Amino acid sequence: MEATSDRIRWADAPGELTDEIGRLLGGPVVEAADQTGGYSAGLAVRAGTAGGSRAFVKAAPAELGGTVDLYRREAEVLRRLPDSVPAPALLATIEVGDWFGLVTEEVDGRHPSAPPAHDELRAILDTIGEFPDARGLGLPRLVDELPFAAWPTLVADHADRLTDLERRNGERLTALAAAAGDHLAGDRLVHLDGRADNILLDAGDRVWFVDWAWACVGSPWIDALAVLLDARLSGSVGTGALLAHPLFAEVPDVAIDGALAGLAGEFRLSSLQPAPPRMPALRAFQAAEARAARDWLAERGAIG
């Protein structure tokens, strides 16, 4: 995928780290393909040895504290996920000097097309629909992770940076987002970072989800909606028709509108913050996601 962050490259990683990765894989790494997509500053590499061992490696130094926190959180999530979940298996974690990393199974696959085809989107939604019951996994609740409470802050503290449409609909967006909360509760696994760069399709057309740091327990239709929103952002048309997928069968329009309003607010507020180290494109991406959600709401007649 297109480079979206100034990621640390394999060539710039300390020798102690790369040596430890080789030790875990059973021999020196002779192939290291840097992965440039995604919104993280850390090292991301498809690594292979002369003996044929392969793995996917993510690592970051302590100076990228937020990235390290996410990697630690993801490692813990991967330890807890049942084998039925389409996620790469955690092989090991690494702590060398001030670096932390995780080594996972390498998924031999591609990201969805840009924009994704509808058959790809249906396959992704079908996979989300198979996410298991997550009670007992010790994961946080979706309603706590995604409170949808950004619009009051945006209206009160950032009105001068909002568009006319956002200012005009501030109270409406606040009310819509607040109404979504009652529909997010559930007992199923939720990925909560459903974007094309976090999804892989293997040669057998099996759908895999990667980057599980935000996993939680709730209602999985929110993952499906996030995937469709991301697809719209990349230029996919007619995604509204996919709201007929069984995942949305018992989700009322007020919940769809509320979640779109909530996502728009979360992305919009995040977009106004300073850019994290080595991630200059993150805030523009978040602003674009907010705009896509807002435009979808307008298209649905929820705001105007």
- One digit per residue, pLDDT tens: the chain, 304 residues? 454 668 999 999 999 999 999 999 999 999 999 998 888 889 999 999 999 999 999 999 999 989 999 999 999 999 999 999 999 999 999 999 999 999 999 999 999 999 999 999 999 999 999 999 999 999 999 999 999 999 999 999 999 999 999 999 999 999 999 999 889 999 999 999 999 999 999 999 999 999 999 999 999 999 999 999 999 999 999 999 999 999 999 999 999 999 999 999 999 999 999 998 888 889 999 999 999 999 999 999 999 9
pLDDT at 2 (0 to 100) = 52
Name the CATH topology of 110-300: Aminoglycoside 3'-phosphotransferase; Chain: A, domain 2 (3.90.1200)
CATH fold label, 10-105: Phosphorylase Kinase; domain 1 (3.30.200)
CA distance readout (Å), 82 to 70, 78, 121, 135, 179? 20, 9, 24, 12, 32
- Non-local CB neighbours of 302 within 8 Å, separated by 6+ positions: 172, 176, 257, 260, 261
Tokens of 238: 């007619």
Tell me, what's the pLDDT at 179? 94
Q: What pTM does this model have? A: 0.95
Where do runs of H (alpha helix) occur along 181-281? 221-233, 253-271
Rounded-to-integer distance, Cα 173 and Cα 268, Å:
12
Q: What is the pLDDT of residues 55-110, one digit of tens each?
A: 999 999 999 989 999 999 999 999 999 999 999 999 999 999 999 999 999 999 99
Q: What is the pLDDT of residue 20?
A: 97
At residue 39, the pLDDT reads 84
Q: What is the pLDDT of residue 1?
A: 46
CB of 27 closer than 8 Å to CB of 53: yes
Return the domain boundaries, the chain.
Answer: 10-105, 110-300
The answer to whether 208 and 199 are in contact (CB under 8 A) is yes
